[in-house]
């Protein structure tokens, strides 16, 4: 599959500046771009999964009072 949805370091730079008022080093922008691209691919794959009407199993149930 073509990687037509890759998130670029330039996009990360704009997001960091506009949303977080943050300046990232070039190496950080590249690293974050790679992480976000991987996350995006995983999310796209999950959207394509046919889970039918079954409710997914609960793997985490929060408890009152923490811990």
Asked if residue 67 belongs to a domain, the reply is no
The pTM assigned to this predicted structure is 0.65
Asked if residue 47 belongs to a domain, the reply is no
In the predicted structure, residue 64 carries a pLDDT above the cut 90: no
Asked if residue 52 belongs to a domain, the reply is no
- Count how many domains the chain has: 1
The CA angle 18-23-24, to the nearest 5 degrees, is 120
Asked if residue 62 belongs to a domain, the reply is no
Asked if residue 61 belongs to a domain, the reply is no
Which letter, b or e, does each residue of 14-32 get, where b requires 16 or more Cβ atoms within 10 Å of its Cβ?
ebbeeeeeeebeeeebeeb
Q: What domain range is 24 assigned to?
A: 9-41
pLDDT, tens only, 6-45: 899 999 999 999 999 999 999 999 999 999 999 999 999 9
């Amino acid at each position: 599959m073509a990687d037509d949805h890759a998130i670029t370091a330039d996009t990360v730079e704009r997001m960091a500046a506009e949303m977080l008022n943050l300046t990232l080093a070039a190496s950080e922008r590249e690293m974050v771009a790679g992480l976000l691209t991987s996350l995006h691919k995983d999310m796209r794959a999950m959207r394509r999964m046919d889970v039918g009407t079954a409710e997914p199993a609960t793997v985490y149930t929060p408890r009152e009072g923490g811990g």
